Amino acid sequence: MTMVSHRPEGLQQLEAQTNFSKQELQILYRGFKNECPSGVVNEDTFKHIYAQFFPHGDASTYAHYLFNAFDTTNNGSIKFEDFVMGLSTLLRGTLRDKLEWTFHLYDINRDGYINREEMTEIVRAIYDMMGKYTYPALKGDVPQQHVDAFFQKMDKNKDGVVTLEEFIDEMMMSSMQLFENVM
């Protein structure tokens, strides 16, 4: 059996496309290669790695959604470049970039909207991931209450779906109000 190995594009190109320095990219690459010697991670490996951060819960469903968000080419694997681009957005991107990335994570079927079913799946996956130590303790309708609150706040035109612009506008407004309250 031949092992297919992937080498990332040049570090200079990745440095230009991300918010990481060459040295940071080298460190990230060493860690990535340590976990994924082929230079590519499949969904099962990603789930295994991600589950280590949530030992008291079942992170598999949330890890599935997260994997799909990183797998921008929809080919069932994440190359180092895909991983670093997503990480750069999440760690060092603008607020708008982070919100767009998060919206695409929640838009499970990738139709450009977040519907109630998708949000319910995400909320349940988060509760499953947190496990028995979730506070407050998960009762039957708690995920639905979170979904209802999300749609009450985000779905401005009350059409049953949240668009990217509704999501970003409300999140930006909420973050500005939070900042004003702190000052």
Q: What is the pLDDT of residue 140?
A: 67
- pLDDT mean by block of 10 residues, the chain; 183 residues: 56 91 93 90 94 92 97 93 95 95 96 97 91 65 89 96 97 77 56
Q: What is the pLDDT of residue 30?
A: 92
Q: What is the pLDDT of residue 2?
A: 47
**114: three-class secondary structure by DSSP:** strand
The token pair that represents 46 in the structure block: 């990603």
Instruction: Please check whether residue 85 is in contact with residue 17, taking contact to mean a CB–CB distance below 8 angstroms.
Output: yes
Q: What is the pLDDT of residue 127?
A: 87
Q: What is the pLDDT of residue 12?
A: 86
Q: What is the pLDDT of residue 135?
A: 61
Q: What is the pLDDT of residue 11?
A: 82
Helical (H) or strand (E) element with 171? helix 164-182
Q: How many CA atoms lie within 13 A of 62 on its CB side?
A: 19
Q: What is the pLDDT of residue 139?
A: 63
Q: For residue 106, what are the contacts with CB-CB under 8 A and spacing of at least 6? A: 114, 118, 119, 122
Q: What is the pLDDT of residue 1?
A: 47
Q: What is the pLDDT of residue 109?
A: 96
Q: How many Å apart are CA 67 and CA 48, to the nearest integer?
A: 12
Question: Tokens 């028995």, residue?
Answer: 132
